[in-house]
Structures are given as structure tokens and as C-alpha cells.
């Protein structure tokens, strides 16, 4: 049975973990949240690559068959280095997300939101151009969505959530995008609030998009199998455990501290 390694800068990658397990509850997973070094979204390519390689080496030492880079920032900045360093397949969220957007668009006007480093890397913009040449791409960072999601402030009726979403998303209304990529692990939690500001716009969840591609690589495990899920963090586990349930959709009962 395939064992999948998943890493993120912290807790957000659990949205990817959740999307994968919704399709294949029988898969074994090893998750690493680099909580000691987050956020990645404001850091340089060199630093994010350095951290990503350490995370990948740790997960490889746990005997994984496939590495999923759940963090959009790490996927945008470190994928070539990870692929060069590992002997197993490495999947990032950017390409699946871009391909899903290329399939979803009806008017060739695609928006992307992500962290500062993801957007300034141009990775989504390039991947969309490759998947859908000729599409107009509008890309903007939405950094405050990350702490809002971690704080649990995701209710679309909440005044703060509405104001932040309106301000960040106004350029996409102006650009008349018909599709928007949620290019950050935390944004699926704000899906409803984002959707309200952009009525009629197709929202592409990069977590869902990568889950579909994982399915193609590993195949379906036997049904009824009891899977094993291990969680590791680089800072003490308390904060991770307190927030994890919101991202994973169920309680995480234990996480082990590791130095990577
Ligand atoms: N996981 C990051 C991402 O998807 C968001 C949080 C961070 O900045 O570390 O880009």
C-alpha cells in the first residue's frame, strides 16, 4: 500500500490531507508541519527551498512512496529542487491547480490568490499560461486570509471577514475574472466568504486539484482497510493540535515533535 508524505509550513496543509483522504480514506499518510519556521509565505526562494529540502529528507526517512508538497509557497518556489533531490515522485499544488483552472474557465479570465511569495514567484501565472495559452491572469497576494483562517474567523457574515475579503478581491471584480484559484492552503476555509464577493466566479481549490492527481498516481487502496496517519511538527505540538481540527475536519489526537 502506498504511503504518502505530505508537508506544509504548518497546519494549513491539512486541507490537502483532508482532500486526499476524502477520496481515499484507506491511504497511509505521514504529515510534517514545519511549525517552527512558518510562515513560508513571506520568505525568499532560497530559504523556502532550504526548509523544504529538510522536510522532504525527513519524510523520505519515514519510507514514503510519494511526496505531496501541500504548501503552495513551497510548491511555487522549491519544486525543481525537491524533484532533483528525491528519487520518488514529488507533486506540488501549483500545476494541478493551474490545470483545474484551465479546465474551469469559460471566458479565459483567471484570477489567482496566494501568499506574497507565491504570487511574486510567478509560478501560478506561468503554469496557467502553459495550461491555457491566451488566458488573461490577474494575481494578487491576500496575506491576511492566513491569520483569519487560523483564528477561526471564516464566517462570511462576520464584518471583519467581509471587509478583508472585499478589499482583497475588488481587483478581481474589476478584471472580470470568471475563475479564481485559491492558491494557499488556508483559503479553502474562507471559500464561502470569497465566493460571496465574487458571485458567479468558479473557485478552484488547489487542495482538491492535487487530490485528483494523487489518485491517478497511487490508485485506490482496498476498501475497509484501517489506514495509519502520523503527524509531526517542528515546534511543540500544542498550537498545531488546537487548530488542526478546523483544517482537517476532524480532531488530530497526537503529533510528535521532531527536529528536521
Ligand atoms: N502554507 C502556506 C501556503 O500555502 C501558507 C502559510 C505560510 O505562509 O506559511 O502558501
pLDDT score, position 222: 61
Using the 8-state DSSP alphabet, how is residue 166 labeled? H
Closest CA to 249 of 15, 6, 12, 70: 15
Of 13, 35, 41, the one to substitute when testing ligand 1's pocket (max ligand atoms within 8 A of C-beta) is 41
Give me ligand 1 centre to Cα 205, in Å. 14
- Choosing from 191, 206, 221, the residue where a domain stops is 206
47 and 83 inside one domain:
yes
Give me ligand 1 centre to Cα 178, in Å. 25
Q: Which atom of ligand 1 is nearest to the CA of 42?
A: 8
**Domain span including residue 54:** 3-92+209-257
116 and 190 inside one domain:
yes
137 and 157 inside one domain:
yes
The whole-angstrom separation of Cα 209 and Cα 188 is 12
202 and 98 inside one domain:
yes
> Is 184 one of the annotated active-site residues of the chain?
yes
99 and 198 inside one domain:
yes
The single residue of 184, 203, 207, 255 carrying the catalytic annotation is: 184
pLDDT score, position 14: 96
**What CATH code is carried by the domain that includes residue 216?**
3.40.50.1860
Which runs of E-coded beta strand occur in 71-135?
90-92, 109-114
Cα angle 172, 111, 91; round to 5: 155
Q: Which residues contact 242 (CB under 8 A, 6 or more apart)?
A: none
Closest CA to 215 of 31, 22, 64: 22
113 and 25 inside one domain:
no
Give me ligand 1 centre to Cα 90, in Å. 18
198 and 129 inside one domain:
yes
Contact 237, 255 (CB under 8 A): yes
Closest CA to 181 of 134, 246, 117, 119: 119
Give me ligand 1 centre to Cα 40, in Å. 6
The single residue of 19, 38, 56, 71 carrying the catalytic annotation is: 71
Mapped onto helix, strand or coil, the DSSP state of residue 134 is coil
The whole-angstrom separation of Cα 205 and Cα 259 is 31
Give me ligand 1 centre to Cα 223, in Å. 33
pLDDT score, position 218: 81
> Is 142 one of the annotated active-site residues of the chain?
no
Of 6, 7, 8, the one to substitute when testing ligand 1's pocket (max ligand atoms within 8 A of C-beta) is 8
162 and 236 inside one domain:
no
Angle between helix 94-104 and helix 206-218 axes, rounded to 10 deg:
110
85 and 119 inside one domain:
no
Count Cβ atoms below 10 Å from residue 2 Cβ, excluding itself. 16
163 and 137 inside one domain:
yes
Hey, whose CA ends up nearest to atom 2 of ligand 1? 71
Contact 21, 51 (CB under 8 A): no
Cα angle 72, 211, 10; round to 5: 40
111 and 148 inside one domain:
yes
24 and 79 inside one domain:
yes
36: which 3 cell numbers?
A: 517552527
User: Residues with Cβ within 6 A of ligand 1?
Assistant: 8-10, 12, 38-41, 71-73, 115, 118, 146, 184-186
pLDDT score, position 221: 60
Mean pLDDT per 10-residue segment, the chain (260 residues): 92 94 90 97 98 98 96 98 96 96 97 98 98 97 96 96 98 98 96 97 92 80 77 96 93 94
Query: Per the structure, how many domains does the chain have?
Result: 2
pLDDT score, position 220: 65
- Choosing from 178, 206, 234, the residue where a domain stops is 206
pLDDT score, position 223: 65
Amino acid at each position: 500500500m502506498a504511503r504518502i508524505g505530505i508537508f506544509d509550513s504548518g497546519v494549513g496543509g491539512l486541507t490537502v490531507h483532508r482532500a486526499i483522504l476524502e477520496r481515499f480514506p484507506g491511504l497511509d499518510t505521514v504529515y510534517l508541519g514545519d511549525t517552527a519556521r512558518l510562515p513560508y509565505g513571506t520568505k525568499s526562494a532560497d530559504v523556502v527551498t532550504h526548509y523544504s529540502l529538510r522536510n522532504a529528507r525527513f519524510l523520505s526517512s519515514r519510507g514514503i512512496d510519494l511526496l505531496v508538497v501541500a504548501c503552495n509557497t513551497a510548491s511555487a518556489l522549491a519544486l525543481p529542487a525537491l524533484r532533483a533531490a528525491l528519487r520518488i515522485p514529488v507533486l506540488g499544488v501549483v500545476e494541478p491547480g493551474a490545470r483545474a483552472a484551465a479546465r474551469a474557465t469559460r471566458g479565459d479570465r483567471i484570477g489567482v490568490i496566494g501568499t506574497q511569495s507565491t504570487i511574486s514567484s510567478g509560478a501560478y501565472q506561468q503554469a496557467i499560461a502553459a495550461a491555457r495559452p491566451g488566458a488573461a491572469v490577474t494575481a494578487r497576494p491576500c496575506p491576511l486570509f492566513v491569520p483569519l483562517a487560523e483564528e477561526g474567523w471564516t464566517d462570511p457574515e462576520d464584518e471583519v471577514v467581509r471587509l478583508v475579503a472585499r478589499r482583497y478581491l475588488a481587483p478581481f471584480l474589476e478584471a472580470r475574472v470568471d475563475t479564481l484559484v485559491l492558491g494557499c492552503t488556508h483559503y479553502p476555509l474562507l471559500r464561502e466568504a470569497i465566493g460571496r464577493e465574487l458571485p458567479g466566479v468558479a473557485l478552484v481549490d488547489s487542495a482538491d486539484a492535487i487530490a485528483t492527481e494523487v489518485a491517478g498516481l497511487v490508485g485506490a487502496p482496498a476498501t475497509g482497510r484501517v489506514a495509519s496517519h502520523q503527524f509531526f511538527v517542528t515546534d511543540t505540538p500544542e498550537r498545531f493540535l488546537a487548530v488542526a481540527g478546523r483544517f482537517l475536519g476532524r480532531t488530530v489526537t497526537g503529533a510528535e515533535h521532531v527536529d528536521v
